[in-house]
Every structure is written in C-alpha cells, then in structure tokens.
Structure 1
Amino acid sequence: MTDQTPAPLLKDILGPQALITIADAGTAASPRFDRQAFLAAATDGLDALSIMERVRHIAGALQPALPADYRAALAIVRAMAPKLTHGFQAVAITEFVARYGLGDFTASMAALADLTRFGTAEFAIRPFLAQDAGRTLAVMEAWSRDQDAHVRRLASEGCRPRLPWAARVPALKADPARGAPILETLKADPSLYVRKSVANHLNDIAKDRPDWVLDRLGTWPADEPQTAWIIRHALRTLIKAGDPRALALIGVRHGAAVDLQRFTVAPQTVRLGDTITLTADLRSISPGDQRLVVDYRIHYARAGGKTAAKVFKLKTFDLAAGVDANLSIRQTIRDFSTRRHHLGRHDVELIINGETMARTAFDVAPAS
C-alpha cells in the first residue's frame, strides 16, 4: 500500500514547539524575558501564516516580552541564539533586529554579525540596505574579510539583488553590481558555503546585467580552483541560454562537432506520476578532444495553447575524437508548487554547447 501521509509543511518548522523553544531560550537568557507575554502574542494567529510571515510574526511577539530599551532587549536576544535548535528560529530573532533596530545602526550591525552564525541574517540586513545602502555595504565589505565563514557569507548573501523570499532593495535594483567589492574579496574563498553565495549573487546580476558579469569574470583567475568553481556556477543561467561568452569562460566552444544518431523520449504518452527517459546517442566528428555541455529544454504546455520552457542539465563531459557517447536521463512528470502540468504536447530540445541539435516530444494524458 502506498503511504498517503502528506509531506510536512515548511511553515511548521516555526510551529508551536518552536515557540516553546524560543520561549525557553528567552527564559534562560534573562529573568527580564516575559515568557507568558511572548507565547500569548506568538501563538495568536500563527496557524494562518506562511513561513516568512511567521518569522515576522515571532519578531513582533518578542517585543512585548523584552525590555523597552533596545540595547537591553538586544543583549537578551543575542544571549538566546545559542540556545535555539533550528536555523529558522534564529532567523526569527534576527528579524527583531530588522524591525526594531534601524535607529541604532552600530549595535544592530554587531548583533547581525553575531546572530548569523546560528541561522542567517540575510533577510534582516535588507531593511538596513534599504535605509542606507552605502553605509550598510561598507560594513558588509568589512564582513567579507571576517574569519567566520557565516559572516563572510552574510556579506554576499545579504546584498544579493534577487535574494529569494526577501524584499527587493531599491539601490540594488537600480545597480545590482553595488556589491562588487564584496564579490572581489570572496572570489577565491576557501568555504564552499561562501562560494555558493558568491555564485548565486553573480547569477542574480547576470539576469539583469549579463555583460557586466561576463566582463568581470573574464578578469578572474580561472586557474584558481575555488574561483573556477564560482565562475562555472555563476554562469549557469547564461550557459543554459547558450551564451557564447559564458561557454568560452568555462572552456567550451559554442556549437559542437558531433554526429547525433538518436534522440528519443519514452514513453511518448505519460500521466502525472510517470517517468520519462531521454536518450541521446552521438559521435564526435572533431579532430581533437572537445568539452560538451549537454542540456535539454522542455516546453511545458500551458492553458490557451501557450508554452513555458525550462532548461535542465543533462551532462558536461570531455569527448575524444571519433568516440561515441550514449547519454540517458530520467525525469518524473509531477506537479510542484512552482510548476503544474497541463494536458497536451510537450516539445523537448536537445542542446549541445548552446545549439539545439534535435527535437522530440511527449504528451501528458488525463489520468485513467
């Protein structure tokens, strides 16, 4: 029998038990923390809220439980952080700084650098950037040289132009490259945690200013392993789009010298929950070795006969002269919160080094 138990909701990370944990942390941190006031305010209306709404709701509930003096309250909040048991609990208390600390810049910056070690302060820094981008970016640039990887990551992640779940910052929207000094400092960071943020930050900028990103990364040392990792991941959107300059920066020639012998999808008719298999057989006709970046693009059927395309990675590899390659990948056709399937024809393209080499299709049929 199939397990029909629904998956837990993300918002439940900040459910009733999390509120008790935060209350316990406050009680342990200071006798001035009003546990009853916090739980009453935090519990009220919680069920109807999403995960980020709960973050803001909990921050508001902390206010009546803490001293009226901001710095006194901040000392308690900082003492609470080590006693929390989940990163999102720490995100909720960093939001207290974002909501009530804009008038005390120095103390709030020090608190966010401390609190980010227990969850992340990437959301809490955004109101400070919106209020005074220049002053806040100067502090974040100093953070980019901190010994703690969590603080260095905050320097990059906090000023990402398109940070998910976060409010847009007008100054970064107008000029998404304002964090460039931070990225330069972190371009060979030893921490993968930090490098992922730098790559994501650059990928954000590439969606608005691709030439700026390509020009900048063209000056970075591609022979440095940490920097080369960032370059590859920062260019992923441009590579999926087949941008010749992006491909060149990762050592790939636009277009490929291959003879494509087969590209198929099976089965050609599926229902939600079924899995398709894409298969491609090709042979190198290049006189020398070549690096191949192989992707596939599915044109999802939409209402009214429209389509929406999405590119997926298949494989990146080196192919020797005259050698065959047999590629295969499976993908389950199921709905997500960000993608819902419609009945009908779904065209599929095979893309090699930025060029469409072949097409096939499958149909999504009604459930039987």
Structure 2
Amino acid sequence: MAELLKHQFFTPDAIQHFAETIFQHHPAFDRETFTTRVFADGWEAKELKARMRHVTICLHETLSLAYADALGILKLAAPAIKGFDGLCLPDYVERYGREDWERSLPALGYFTKFASSEFAIRPFLDQDPDRVMPFLLQWAEDDDQNVRRFASEGCRPRLPWSMALPKFKRDPRPILPVLEKLKADESEFVRKSVANNLNDISKDHPDLLLDLCERWQGQDARTDWILKHACRTLLKAGNPRALGLFGHNHVICATIEEAHLDNTRLSIGETARFSFTLNLNEPEPANVRLEYAVYFVKANRQVSKKVFKITENVYEPGTYPFSKRHAFVERTTRKHYPGKHRITIIVNGDEKAEMTIELQ
C-alpha cells in the first residue's frame, strides 16, 4: 500500500499545479526550475514522506525569500493546494519556521484547513508544550472541523507516520482539557481523532483512560462511541475493567467446543478456514464479545499475537455454531514466516480453545 501511495501523490500533474499556483501569487517564482529540482535524480527512490520534505526544500530554494515573505505567499496559495499534496505547506513551517513561533503557530492553524498540520505541529509540542497548549485549546473550539480535529490529532502521543511525543507518553494529562472540549463533537471526523488519541494514551496509562471512561460514560451517545473506540486495545487485550465498562462479564459460563481447522498445513498466501461451537451456559442472556487471535511467527522465531473481532451481541443461553476464515497473505503491514501458528478463540477476553496450523 505504501508503495502505491507514493505514486498517487506529488505526481507530475500535481507538482505542475503546485508550481502554477505559487506563480499566480508570486510571478518571480521559476516554475521550470522548481519542477526540475523536484524530479531530479533520486526522486524515484524516495518514499512518500521523504518526497514531501523534498518538495518543501525545493520550494524554499526556488522561492529564495525570507520566511515571513514566503509564508505570506503560501497562505494565498493554500486554498488551491489541498489534501496530501498540500502537506508541504505546513511542512514548510516545520522546516523553516521553528524560530518564529508568533507567525508559525497561527500559520499551522490556517494551513490545516486545507492540508493537515498534524505532523508539523509536533516538533513545536516536543520543544515547548506549554507554549503550544493555548493554541490547541483555541483550535478545539474552531468552527472548522479540520481545525478541531487538528487540535486532537496533533497532540496524539503516538501519531502514526510521525515522531512520538515522549512528554505526553510519560504524562498525557495536559492533553485531556483539549479532548474534554471535543468529547461530544458533532463531527465524526473529529470524534475518531479523539478516540485514537485516547487509545494512544491507553497503551501507556490504561487506568487513566479507564478512570476517564467512568467519568464520561453515559453523558452523550457521541461520547460513548468515542470511549468504546478508545478502549479497543484494552478490550482486545481482555482487560477485565474495560470489558466490564461495556457490559462484558470477564467471568462468563461459556465453553468452545468442536474447534476445527479444515486444513492444518497451509502455504503462505493461502486461507485458513475454521469452525467452532459456542456453548453459553449462563442462566440468563449474556453480553458476549467473541474474537479469535492468531499467534504469528516472526523472523526471529518469536510470536506476535493479533486479535480479530468476530461478533459482539447479547445471546440467550444455548449453542451457536460459527465458521471463519483467515488469509495468510502478504501485506505491507505484515510479513509471514513459516512455522507453527496458533489460533485461539476468545470469549469476553478469555481464551477458550486453541488450534495449530503449520505455515510453510
């Protein structure tokens, strides 16, 4: 997927559009020089974020202006350069505006309306979070959902594709007032970011998140959705307190029987098919979270557990058959290795049955 993405953005047409847009607001901008610099030797070997930074540097070299003057031109151009291709505008601030906070922080809040500034804000947060925090609180109340999302996404302790924020990993409490403002936001785009931020927090401070869930739960349906999504890592880990918050009794009278693999030997790229029966022996209907886990063999012969959800529902006492399939196909996010892989069936966080498959 990443290999495909790097060819979807910063294409020749996109770079030409970028150059023309800058030229409209700064006629001294040499479009041909800029384009030649962008696609110079080494372009094909660069991955997506490296291409973004390369475009930023080429832009700076071709503009050849003082930071404040360049920023004025980029602000005029921003509405016409949206999405991933526009990320080099906030990246320009990150690369060249770290000594000019008075201009740079408002610029990031403006650019994020067109192309997210979530990556560019992080070096500023890492350097002086107390100085950035008033801006985050202000952005969390903006009318534009892109700006409100940026307030949450930019301060995530573990934002993918970006640098972590060690200070917030150690103590995420300064983030919470920002998330408090967004906990019932009308925009699903914003709510997903809040949930992801809280999920980041759960990986280092599970009890802090669970305490917050107990305070926030039941206030608003939108907040409840955020909390459920925020607890996904804890739920998959079988955390009893997280399970209890969402009505799943960790101690449930249930068994898994007749767990069966259609084929216990597969080649990488093939699909495992398995079936089992859930026997629910509770005296009354029970809230059941049913999952399976695959223990993947890694390159160093250690194993890595990954949990996959099957269903989550209220079941009457009784017997329920299930069948599932799992594809052992190569992905950019997972490479498979030969060896014995275990598949377990999980009921409300408790592994109830196990099967073994030989991958070759």
TM-score, length of structure 1 as denominator length: 0.91
Are 1:99 and 2:95 matched, yes or no? yes
Does the CA contact (< 8 Å) of 2:297 and 2:339 recur in 1? yes
Q: Secondary structure at the match of 2:346?
A: strand
- Which of 287, 294, 301 is residue 290 of structure 2 equivalent to? 294
User: 1:145 Cα shift?
Assistant: 1.0
Partner of 1:56: 53
- Which of 338, 345, 359 is residue 343 of structure 1 equivalent to? 338
Are 1:179 and 2:179 matched, yes or no? no
Query: How much is the aligned-residue C-alpha RMSD, in angstroms?
Result: 1.9
Partner of 1:323: 318
Partner of 1:10: 5
Specify the code of the residue in structure 1 equivalent to 2:35: L
User: 1:107 Cα shift?
Assistant: 2.2
1:92 and 1:202 map into 2 onto residues whose CA distance is: 28
Inter-CA distance 18–342: structure 2 relative to 1 (3 Å threshold): same
Does the CA contact (< 8 Å) of 1:295 and 1:351 recur in 2? yes
- Which of 164, 167, 192 is residue 168 of structure 1 equivalent to? 164
Specify the code of the residue in structure 2 equivalent to 1:47: E
Give % identity: 37
49-58 vs 15-24, which moves further: 15-24
Q: Secondary structure at the match of 2:72?
A: helix
2:14 and 2:3 map into 1 onto residues whose CA distance is: 15
Mapping of 1:92-131 within 5 angstroms? 92-131=88-127
Q: Deviations over 1:272-328 (max 9, x none)?
A: 2211223232132112221111111111123464322211112111112x2332333
Does the CA contact (< 8 Å) of 1:59 and 1:92 recur in 2? yes
Q: Secondary structure at the match of 1:327?
A: strand
Inter-CA distance 58–182: structure 2 relative to 1 (3 Å threshold): same
Unpaired segments ≥5 residues, structure 2: none
Are 1:46 and 2:40 matched, yes or no? no
Does the CA contact (< 8 Å) of 1:255 and 1:352 recur in 2? no
- Which of 76, 92, 110 is residue 79 of structure 1 equivalent to? 76
User: 1:161 Cα shift?
Assistant: 0.5
- Which of 137, 147, 152 is residue 151 of structure 1 equivalent to? 147
Q: Secondary structure at the match of 1:14?
A: coil
User: 1:168 Cα shift?
Assistant: 2.3
Specify the code of the residue in structure 2 equivalent to 1:132: D
Are 1:359 and 2:357 matched, yes or no? no
Are 1:34 and 2:30 matched, yes or no? yes
Q: Deviations over 1:243-266 (max 9, x none)?
A: 011111212111322232332232
1:131 and 1:301 map into 2 onto residues whose CA distance is: 39
Does the CA contact (< 8 Å) of 1:32 and 1:67 recur in 2? no
1:154 and 1:331 map into 2 onto residues whose CA distance is: 36
147-156 vs 9-18, which moves further: 9-18
Does the CA contact (< 8 Å) of 2:157 and 2:166 recur in 1? no
User: 1:344 Cα shift?
Assistant: 2.0
1:105 and 1:30 map into 2 onto residues whose CA distance is: 24
310-319 vs 229-238, which moves further: 310-319
1:25 and 1:255 map into 2 onto residues whose CA distance is: 62
1:328 and 1:236 map into 2 onto residues whose CA distance is: 23
1:232 and 1:107 map into 2 onto residues whose CA distance is: 38
Partner of 2:202: 206
Does the CA contact (< 8 Å) of 2:169 and 2:204 recur in 1? no
Q: Deviations over 1:329-365 (max 9, x none)?
A: 2221111223211112111111111111111121112
Does the CA contact (< 8 Å) of 1:177 and 1:205 recur in 2? no
2:349 and 2:244 map into 1 onto residues whose CA distance is: 11
Q: Secondary structure at the match of 2:29?
A: coil
Does the CA contact (< 8 Å) of 2:158 and 2:165 recur in 1? no
User: 1:223 Cα shift?
Assistant: 4.9
Q: Deviations over 1:126-173 (max 9, x none)?
A: 121122211112201111111111101000000100001111234323
Q: Deviations over 1:50-82 (max 9, x none)?
A: 111111111111112325232221121122222
Q: Secondary structure at the match of 2:216?
A: coil
Partner of 2:229: 233
1:342 and 1:30 map into 2 onto residues whose CA distance is: 54
Does the CA contact (< 8 Å) of 2:342 and 2:355 recur in 1? yes
Inter-CA distance 259–168: structure 2 relative to 1 (3 Å threshold): closer
Q: Secondary structure at the match of 1:47?
A: coil
1:286 and 1:215 map into 2 onto residues whose CA distance is: 29
1:182 and 1:302 map into 2 onto residues whose CA distance is: 39
Matched positions, count:
358
TM-score, length of structure 2 as denominator length: 0.93
1:139 and 1:178 map into 2 onto residues whose CA distance is: 13
Does the CA contact (< 8 Å) of 1:56 and 1:95 recur in 2? yes
306-315 vs 351-360, which moves further: 306-315
Does the CA contact (< 8 Å) of 1:198 and 1:230 recur in 2? yes
